[in-house]
Amino acid sequence: MPNEDILKGLKTALETEMNGIEFYRIAAEKTADTKAKGVFQILANDEALHFIELKKQNDALLKTGKWDPAIVLGKPSEFKGASPIFSDDFKSRIRDRHFEMSALSIGALLETNSIDFYRQMKDTSKDPNAKRFFADLQSWEEKHLDAIVKQLDLVKEEFWQNAHWQPY
């Protein structure tokens, strides 16, 4: 029988990925930026892939009591350019983009929490296949976070200036 902590961790991971899917799907629907619609959909699709592979692992553990090394995530999505999420002219339209700025902040929080969780699961797992799987999940989420932080860094000063607000 599989370790209860691993099964509990997989259940938490599945719930987390489902939240990510919904969040990024809603962000894709609500943003007015054409490029961001596509990137948020890519993020939702990535989270959906994570969910599917986590579900397969969970089912394999329940059925066989063992981690299935054949279940892998593949290569993560690439986020390129100086503005990895929004179009290049987004910064000039940032004044009324409160939703998009909130989406970036919430996305960063979701990704940071996922990274920490997958790191913990990797570090506490005894099975080398589980360690690899959680390391891969952690890596994907780090790529997501890197794109979000890069985008935030690109636009936050302009957003704060237009809002006549400084955080310090």
Which pLDDT tens digit goes with each residue over 75-123? 888 888 888 877 777 766 665 667 888 899 999 999 999 999 999 999 9
Question: Does the residue 157 lie in any domain?
Answer: yes
Per-residue pLDDT for 46 more than 60? Answer: yes
> Would you put residue 81 in left (φ > 0), alpha (ψ -120 to 50) or beta?
left
Structural domain count, the chain? 1
Question: Does the residue 167 lie in any domain?
Answer: no
- pTM summary value: 0.86
Token representation of residue 40: 């948020």
How many CA atoms lie within 13 Å of 11's alpha carbon, on the beta-carbon side?
7
Whichever domain contains 110, its CATH number is 1.20.1260.10
Q: Residue 98 and residue 3: Cα distance in Å, rounded?
A: 44
Q: Residue 129 and residue 72: Cα distance in Å, rounded?
A: 10
Question: Does the residue 60 lie in any domain?
Answer: yes
Question: Does the residue 39 lie in any domain?
Answer: yes
The angle, 0 to 180 degrees and rounded to 10, between the axes of the packed helices 34-64 and 4-30 is 160
Question: Does the residue 168 lie in any domain?
Answer: no
The torsion angles phi and psi of 167, rounded to 5 degrees, stand at -75, 0
**Where in the sequence is the domain holding 135, given as residue range(s)?**
4-74+81-86+95-162
